[in-house]
């Protein structure tokens, strides 16, 4: 009976009773079901994580493709802008050259007109000076007797010249 006073014996008995109660109450089924449910939840989370990862990789690939397309489009826009700028610069140079040529021609025309006007004015002044000199010369050399004779001769010739 010494066994009944031994505390380790009572701990072993209590442990055995507890195990018996747990087995009777269906604890292994409950624990197994709990572990199965927990494993299923973890598997579902892993499947969801794998699906999300695949989706993220697809999105990453799509964004990389879009980024490459955007870079190519940007490069094309830059190339086109450079070509347009060069074309516009060439057009501007051509327009400027044409405008310079046109203004040079206008300046030459104005110079030619000014020269013609100056020549006409010089001719007019020369004619006026010649007429004045002739008038002075005639006035100095012509006396009344000669003037009368010139008038008579002119009147006689006038009739013949009019017919």
Residue 88 has pLDDT above 80, yes or no: yes
Q: Which residues of 91-120 are buried (b: 16+ CB within 10 A; e: fewer)?
A: eeeeeeeeeeeeeeeeeeeeeeeeeeeeee
Check whether 1 has a pLDDT greater than 80. Answer: no
pLDDT higher for 93 or 154?
Answer: 93
- Angle at which helix 27-141 crosses helix 7-25, to 10 degrees, equals 70
Q: What is the pTM of this model?
A: 0.41
Contact yes or no for 14/8 (Cβ under 8 A)? no
151 — pLDDT class (breaks 50, 70, 90) = confident
Residue-level pLDDT at 163:
60
Q: Report how far residue 144's alpha carbon sits from residue 138's, in angstroms, rounded to the nearest whole number.
A: 12
Please indicate, yes or no, if residue 162 is contained in any of the structural domains: no
In a domain, 161, yes or no: no
Domain that holds residue 118: 2-129
pLDDT of 53 strictly over 70: yes
pLDDT of residue 14: 93
Based on the structure, what is the number of domains in the chain? Answer: 1
Q: What is the mean pLDDT of residues 30-56?
A: 94
Residues in the chain: 163
In a domain, 107, yes or no: yes
Considering the domain boundaries, does residue 85 fall inside one?
Answer: yes
Q: Say if 22 falls within a structural domain.
A: yes
């Amino acid at each position: 009976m010494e066994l009944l006073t031994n505390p380790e014996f009572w701990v072993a008995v209590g442990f055995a009773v507890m195990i018996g109660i747990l087995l009777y109450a269906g604890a292994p089924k409950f624990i197994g079901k709990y572990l199965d449910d927990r494993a299923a939840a973890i598997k579902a989370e892993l499947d969801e994580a794998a699906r999300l990862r695949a989706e993220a990789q697809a999105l990453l690939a799509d964004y990389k493709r879009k980024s490459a397309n955007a870079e190519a489009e940007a490069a094309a826009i830059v190339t086109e802008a450079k070509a347009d700028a060069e074309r516009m610069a060439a057009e501007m140079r051509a327009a400027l050259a044409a405008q310079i040529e046109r203004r040079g021609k206008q300046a030459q025309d104005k110079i030619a007109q000014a020269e013609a006007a100056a020549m006409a004015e010089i001719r007019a002044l020369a004619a006026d000076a010649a007429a004045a000199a002739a008038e002075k010369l005639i006035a100095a050399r012509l006396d009344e007797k000669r003037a009368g004779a010139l008038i008579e001769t002119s009147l006689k010739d006038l009739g013949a010249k009019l017919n």
